[in-house]
Amino acid sequence: MAKLSKRYATALFRLSLEHNRLEENMAHAAALQQALSQEQSRRVLTHPRIPVAEKHGFFSDALQHTSADIRGLVCLAIDKNREKFIASIFAAFIAMGNQHLRQTTAQVRAAVPLSPKQADALAATLSRQTGKTVTLDVLVDPSLIGGLYIQLDGQCIDRTIKTRLLAMKNHVKGDPV
């Protein structure tokens, strides 16, 4: 199933590059992916008793402002009874686009909200280290006490007070970390 999603995503990626619409299609795919996360949309899209024509009608309004590439992919997926893969196709497509554009998102957990200046400095530092344009997705988690926990491109950087206190506790007790 992951292969199927990747195959469709690769086709959309190549088509987007060919028509010089990668960033536009990525934005449309992200918006549609967000819409598909809503229960009503997902239910209509994947319900087996709703006819294909009705599914096309339901999504024709939503897809009216998207590119022809995105509309074509959604229509093809509905016609081939592969509606349940649309969200994963878009996720794979967006990941391919981000890699091509050298963009990535860092998941950041902080004990307190970051100021705009701190967020910009962190994004700039991570961009220098990775060679990519980094955007931050910040989540405030007071249980961390202080510091940051960063997930970026499959790597984790844990510089939280909570982890350091736990390590000190284990060291005092003589437990391995």
| Single residue among 99, 130, 153 that ends a domain in this structure | 99
Query: Could you tell me the pTM of the whole model?
Result: 0.80
**Cα gap 157→108, rounded to integer Å:** 9
Confidence class of residue 1 from pLDDT cuts 50, 70 and 90? low
- Rounded distance between C-alpha atoms, residue 39 and residue 148, angstroms: 33
Measured distance CA(85)–CA(66) in Å, rounded: 19
Claim to verify: residue 7 and residue 64 sit in the same structural domain: yes
What is the phi/psi pair of residue 33, to 5°? -60, -40
> 10-46: per-residue pLDDT in tens?
999 999 999 999 999 999 999 888 888 888 777 777 8
Tell me: do 36 and 56 sit in the same domain: yes
Based on the domain organization, do 73 and 116 belong to the same domain? no
Do 43 and 116 belong to one domain?
Answer: no
pLDDT greater than 90 at residue 50: no
Containing structural domain, residue 149: 103-173
**What is the three-class DSSP state of 97?**
helix
* Domain's final residue, options 54, 80, 99: 99
Residues 87 and 45: beta-carbon distance below 8 Å: no
Q: What is the DSSP letter of 66?
A: S
Within this chain, do residues 111 and 169 fall inside the same structural domain, yes or no? yes
Q: In what order do the strands lie in the sheet with 155-160?
A: 133-140, 103-110, 147-152, 155-160
- The C-alpha atoms of residue 121 and residue 92 are separated, in whole angstroms, by 29
**Arithmetic mean of pLDDT over the chain:** 92
pLDDT classification of 63: cutoffs 50, 70, 90: confident
In terms of C-beta density within 10 A (0-12 exposed, 13-18 middle, 19 or more buried), how is residue 90 classed? buried
* Shared domain check, 80 and 33: yes
CATH number at residue 7: 1.10.520.20
Q: What pLDDT was estimated at residue 14? A: 97
CB neighbour list of residue 16: distance below 8 Å, 6 or more residues apart = 22, 24, 25, 26, 69, 93, 97
My answer on whether 28 and 89 are in the same domain is yes
Summarize pLDDT for 128-160 with one digit per residue, the tens.
Answer: 999 999 999 999 999 999 999 999 999 999 999
Q: How many domains does the chain fold into?
A: 2
